[in-house]
Amino acid sequence: MTEIDYYELLEVSKGSDKSTIKKAYRQMAMKYHPDKNPGDKEAEERFKAINEAYQVLSDDEKKSIYDRYGKAGLEGHGQRGGGFSGGFDDLGSVFEEMFGSAFGGGSRGRRQRKSYNYNLDVTIEVKLAFNEAVFGCNKEIKYKYKTACKSCKGTGAKDGKLATCTTCNGQGQVHARQGFMTFAQTCPKCGGSGQSAADSCKTCKGTGYDEVSDSFKVDIPEGVNDGMRIRVSNKGNIAPDGSRGDLYLQVSVKEDAHFVRHDDDIYYEAPIFFTQVALGGKITIPGLRGKLELVIPQGAKDKQQFTFKGEGVKSVQGYGKGSLIVQIKIEYPKTLNDEQTQLLEKLQESFGIESKPHEKNFENMFDKVKKWFS
């Protein structure tokens, strides 16, 4: 499932300050507020996502974690998502701007014009083996980034010349009427800049960029998990003015044949012969970092779990280590030779009535069923 970028939701850049983020949040919340979009489920979900994005990007600590590891890095950090987190000032401002704009006030004009035709941030998938994710590694990254077309300077327009947008007449906004109310929306053609290409650049065929292949090595931190994102600063696309975006590595971890990971805990199944359970004892088992000793009590149950605290994965957020949870699976012999059969029969006889718990239990049940029909 593709993760929606919080910055893209609010239509702000990574370097935006709190004031810019707050302003963008108000505009987007007003645009997708349920009261302005009655019965529109898509707008309602968008509104929730915008609130979730603002909850993270307005908090310095959460924003720092998100910038480095993405949404998955916020798990276990108090982030639940979907709820409104802005203060009453934010909520009041949203309603004030929403209804002010609805009746003709609160005009915000056009957005600051972006002269290039592509995003600066880049996201690529990086595949890791199970052990690489658990213990960290140094990984070679091969990818492509965009740089502005020299002919059109990133605009995608012939000779770099932009014309007044014919959809919004250069205003950067279009207006929609709903009942007796009129709402302003960002122009879908020019993205709010008020300008668009009249003719496409022949060099880049209107894309506004050239692609460059590159490679470098990066340290993958210990404890990353599937779905997390790692930010590599200044490795993204390059704007015409030389500013550069970030590269985001979307982590994909290959499953292990034995160990199963859940957050920072590790699970696996240990096969135990039935005599070991009957007699109890100790066995040596593999851990992530070496051998461990598992004490099996007499009478242990099938699927019973044993926990080794601190033997799991180191938290990528620095909160210690998870646990190793071993679940036993009792196994029985598939076939018996004559000697083994005789030994087991003698063992069963030695327990007497204790080896036949079903007889006493069934005797009571037989009596009960008999009374039903008497």
Which residues, other chains included, contact 283 with Cβ-Cβ below 8 Å and sequence gap of 6+? 270, 272, 276, 293, 294, 296
130 within 8 A of 256, measured Cβ to Cβ: yes
Q: Pick 1-108's CATH classification: 3.40.50.720, 3.20.80.10, 1.10.287.110, 1.10.8.100.
A: 1.10.287.110
For the record, the structure tokens of 295 come out as 């004490």
| CATH H superfamily, domain 260-331 | Urease metallochaperone UreE, N-terminal domain (2.60.260.20)
- Residue 135 CB coordination number (10 Å): 14
Q: What is the pLDDT of residues 3-40, one digit of tens each?
A: 567 888 888 888 888 888 988 888 888 888 877 777 78
- 228 vs 178: which has the higher pLDDT: 228
Confidence bin at 327 (pLDDT 50/70/90): very high
Of the candidates 271, 253, 350, 266, the residue with the CA atom closest to the CA atom of residue 308: 266
**What is the CA angle 222-318-221, rounded to 5?**
20
Residues facing residue 266 across a β-bridge: 261, 324
**Is 90 exceeded by the pLDDT of residue 114?**
no
Of the candidates 342, 356, 317, the residue with the CA atom closest to the CA atom of residue 77: 317
How far, in Å, are 116, 276, 364 from residue 351 at the CA level? Answer: 85, 18, 22
The mean pLDDT of 209-234, rounded to a whole number, is 92
Measured CA to CA, the distance from residue 364 to residue 10 in angstroms comes to: 70
Measured CA to CA, the distance from residue 86 to residue 103 in angstroms comes to: 25
137 labeled part of a ligand binding site: no
Domain ranges in the chain are 1-108, 260-331, 338-369
Among 17-21, 55-59, 278-282, 357-361, the least confident range = 357-361
**Is 60 exceeded by the pLDDT of residue 81?**
no
The mean pLDDT of 327-336, rounded to a whole number, is 94
Confidence bin at 131 (pLDDT 50/70/90): very high
**What is the CA angle 12-15-21, rounded to 5?**
45
187 labeled part of a ligand binding site: yes
**Is 60 exceeded by the pLDDT of residue 87?**
no
pLDDT at 247: 93
Residue type, 328: I
pLDDT at 103: 39
165 labeled part of a ligand binding site: yes
**Is 70 exceeded by the pLDDT of residue 168?**
yes
**Is 60 exceeded by the pLDDT of residue 106?**
no
pLDDT at 91: 46
168 within 8 A of 189, measured Cβ to Cβ: yes
Alpha helices (H) in 58-87, listed in sequence order: 60-69
pTM of the model: 0.61
pLDDT at 15: 81
The mean pLDDT of 162-187, rounded to a whole number, is 76
**Is 50 exceeded by the pLDDT of residue 102?**
no
Confidence bin at 80 (pLDDT 50/70/90): very low
Number of H helices, E strands in the chain: 9, 15
The mean pLDDT of 131-145, rounded to a whole number, is 95
Phi first, then psi, for residue 70 (nearest 5°) are 80, -170
The mean pLDDT of 322-326, rounded to a whole number, is 95
Measured CA to CA, the distance from residue 231 to residue 248 in angstroms comes to: 5
